[in-house]
Amino acid sequence: MDFKKINAPTTTVTRDLDKLDKPTGSIYESVMIISKRANQISVELKQELNRKLEEFANYSDNLEEVFENREQIEISKFYEKLPKPTLIAAQEFMQNKIYYRNPKTTEEQAVPNE
């Protein structure tokens, strides 16, 4: 995921509940979809940040030496300024960029034979 191109707001946004439940028909189902996507985004962000910070890892046993690396600080600041995963997921959901399915409704529709 390219985090530089994310256009999600960085602050809390009040959402219209009528618009939020239209795709699924249930506000609770919509919130669950958004929360699961936010967890995925969070894991992806953390893995990417850890990969980038691992380049600066110092494996020496000397505790007295602490190095300040400007590049490491800039990378950390960049990730701190990104929108929170919940805001990104909500933006994706409102723009219909999230694929989701409900196995219960698909099974009920697929098995009308008795």
Q: Do 8 and 17 meet the contact criterion of CB atoms below 8 Å apart?
A: no
Does the residue 51 lie in any domain? yes
Q: What share of the chain is helix, strand, coil (3-state, %, to 5)?
A: 55, 0, 45
74 vs 84: CA distance, rounded Å? 18
Confidence grade of residue 18 (pLDDT, cut at 50, 70, 90): confident
6 domain-assigned? no
Number of domains in the chain: 1
Q: In angstroms, rounded to a whole number, what is the distance separating the alpha carbons of residues 109 and 113?
A: 10
Q: Residue 22: pLDDT above 70?
A: yes
Report pLDDT digits (tens) over 33-78.
999 999 999 999 999 999 988 887 766 655 555 566 788 888 889 8
Residue 15 in any domain: the answer is no
- Is the separation of the CB atoms in 79 and 46 below 8 Å? no
- What would the pLDDT profile of 98-111 be if each residue is shown by its tens digit? 888 888 776 544 44
